[in-house]
Chains A and B, each alone.
Chain A
Amino acid sequence: MAIVKVEKVGKRYPLGEQVVDALRDVSLTIDPGAFLAIAGPSGSGKSTLLNIIGCIDSPSTGHVFIEGQDVSGKTPDQLADVRARTLGFIFQNFNLLPVLSARENVEYPLLQLPELSRAERRERVAHYLDMVGLARFAEHRPNQLSGGQRQRVAIARALATHSRLVLADEPTANLDRETGRSILELMQSINSKAGTTFVFSTHDSHVMAMADRLVHMEDGCILRQEERSAQSAEEAAP
């Protein structure tokens, strides 16, 4: 079963006096374990598509299925639960809570899962901080961390809830090339080891090159798709 199925999704919203079609009749199926990049210039609709897949925006027309469930008709609380249990987010600006330490930032989304005991939360936080290589920085606040380190905390946060799908909107846009690449490599290794599905948007060709599936968008439509083997994706990596 596809982890994401986007069916004839359109999104239009008013912008001033005009009506903008951010997405027109977009259909897309993403299989579990995919490492998929959505590429396109700004305004192409890639962020809107990502937001709609991420259940933080709703389509004007069409349907979105996450793990087979139609999320189009769900209430805000039901969508919050889908986000809490199935989805993870990584943002361009990292979006860590500034008043919380790295450890607490990773723990934060786990508080939405009442079935987890305190000990289980601690254990998970330690595990994922270690995975992203920040065990030593657990007590640091975001402003004491570099951009790359912050994004690693965000990745740990996205994974801590055992999300099956991680959505990343321009995850490397605010990082230098070297750091961006290491972030992408981290995501890639998690993808191949744990099978977590990653969907990210980018307009950086180096980033696109690392994806095993590439979706090109323009003017709210999917222009073309490239399917690549994991091997060729790795070869393409600079």
Chain B
Amino acid sequence: MSLLLALRNLRRQFRRSLTALLSIGFGVTALLVATGFNAAMFEEFREATIRSQFGHLQVTRPGFQERGRSDPWAYLLPADVTLDPALLPSGSTISPRLLLNGLVSFGERTLPFMSEGIDPARDMLDDRSLRIELGRRLGPADHRHVVLGEGLARQLEVEPGESVVLLVNTPTGQLGAAEAEVAGVFSSFSQEFDDAALLLPLSLARELAQVEGAHAWLVFLQDTSATASALGPVRNALPADEFDVQPWYTLAEFYARASALFQQQLDLVKGIVVFIILLGIGNTMMMSVLERTGEIGTVMALGNTRASVLRGFLLEGALLGLLGAVLGVLAALGVGQLLALAAIEMPPPPTFARSYDAALLITPPMVLEVLLIAIVTTTLASFYPAWRASRMEIVEAIRHAR
């Protein structure tokens, strides 16, 4: 009955309650849209990072992650991948990569490059990993072909179809050189990477450096959420003194930092929303309390305790929060649908090289979180008015009854 009473009291001041509901709903929508927008952006960012840079799991020689860049040839893996694919969830692929640094020349210009030799049949297959801006991506049949990062191609002033000369140091201190045709120009999520990177077939990389083997075996899973469960079997299968296995989330430092930064911004949005709800609902509830002074006196004369009066108003506040939040969640889901239909291209965030489509990723835990925030906040906002109500002098309060 107390729930019924609270609902009816809310309905009695329909317009005021509606205003309160709308302001809560608006805050919740803003919060959920901001959270969902971030989540979608970071999901895309995360997938791109995994597909292009780290793989879900990365197998290297122990120590390679720390010192491999300065002394790459000390950390070569065997020529043949010794990881049994049967250990992985179905649909997974294992792809070796070989790191190679050197100089790339086109005409009069020579620039340093960082490169990765990849298996074009298994690696960098789609737009999530590598977006081709000009020309085409590497194919399984390619051998003397490269794709260049957008920034590198621009500085070299080279276009697809033209040939560049690659120059690298081999482990034995000799120079390896090869001519390769530019198959395409790519952009990844990282501008820094695009300014200095090129990709070449693993076969060409091995030929240039005159080595067998690879620096890393990248394991790609179908589903990123399966990373943690796939990690154990792979670690167990490979002797720890010879192999180091790391999941993407320990490697993707930039992703973690950016994600933490955006999380902070979201917390600020949360703070603002909570503050607005506190002020707005506090005011609404105070008006309700003052208006119902006579009723408060009456129910206390009838034997209601102070605590039950307090509870009544808190319940009303909580109910406002719940209803407003439900409205807000529905509105946010609507915004998500609209965005999906409209396909709005967003400009690239700082240090990101390319734009992406705006989208919302709204998950049940997010919905639960905003519901909780709204209910807790409105209840808190009701606390002072409810307390004032419960402390009224009964005789004084009854005089207000009309």
Which residues in A have some Cβ–Cβ distance to B below 8 Å?
Answer: 51, 54, 56-57, 76-77, 80-81, 83-85, 87, 89, 91, 93, 95, 97-100, 104, 107-109, 111-112, 157, 161
Task: Let me know if A57 and B303 touch, CB within 8 A.
Answer: no
7 A-B pairs with CB atoms under 8 Å apart are: A51-B395, A56-B394, A83-B302, A97-B298, A100-B5, A108-B302, A112-B308
Task: Let me know if B395 and A84 touch, CB within 8 A.
Answer: no
Interface residues on B, range: 20 to 34
Given the complex, which residues of B lie within 8 Å of A54, measured CB to CB?
301
- State whether the Cβ of B304 lies closer than 8 Å to any Cβ in chain A: yes
Which residues in B have some Cβ–Cβ distance to A below 8 Å?
Answer: 1-2, 4-5, 8-9, 11-12, 294-295, 298-308, 394-395, 398, 401-402
Distance, CA A57 to CA B8, complexed state (A)? 30
* Candidates B2, B4, B294, B303; contact of A95 at CB < 8 Å: B294
Given the complex, which residues of A lie within 8 Å of B304, measured CB to CB?
80, 84, 112
Given the complex, which residues of B lie within 8 Å of A84, measured CB to CB?
302-304
Task: Let me know if B305 and A95 touch, CB within 8 A.
Answer: no
Residue of A nearest to B7 (CB): A99
Task: Let me know if A85 and B303 touch, CB within 8 A.
Answer: yes
Task: Let me know if B1 and A111 touch, CB within 8 A.
Answer: yes
B102: shortest Cβ distance to chain A, in Å?
Answer: 81
B3: shortest Cβ distance to chain A, in Å?
Answer: 12
Distance, CA A76 to CA B390, complexed state (A)? 11
* Candidates B299, B301, B394, B402; contact of A97 at CB < 8 Å: B299
A81/B302 contact (C-beta < 8 A), A100-B8, A111-B1 known: no
A99/B303 contact (C-beta < 8 A), A93-B401, A93-B402 known: no
Task: Let me know if B401 and A95 touch, CB within 8 A.
Answer: yes
Distance, CA A84 to CA B304, complexed state (A)? 7
Given the complex, which residues of A lie within 8 Å of B398, measured CB to CB?
56, 91, 95
Nearest 9 A/B pairs, CB to CB:
A84-B303, A99-B8, A56-B394, A83-B303, A95-B298, A109-B302, A80-B305, A95-B401, A112-B303
Task: Let me know if B303 and A91 touch, CB within 8 A.
Answer: no
Task: Let me know if B1 and A57 touch, CB within 8 A.
Answer: no
Distance, CA A85 to CA B303, complexed state (A)? 8
Distance, CA A161 to CA B303, complexed state (A)? 10
Distance, CA A81 to CA B303, complexed state (A)? 6
A59: shortest Cβ distance to chain B, in Å?
Answer: 12
Residue of A nearest to B393 (CB): A57
Task: Let me know if B395 and A157 touch, CB within 8 A.
Answer: no
A107/B1 contact (C-beta < 8 A), A57-B394, A91-B401 known: yes
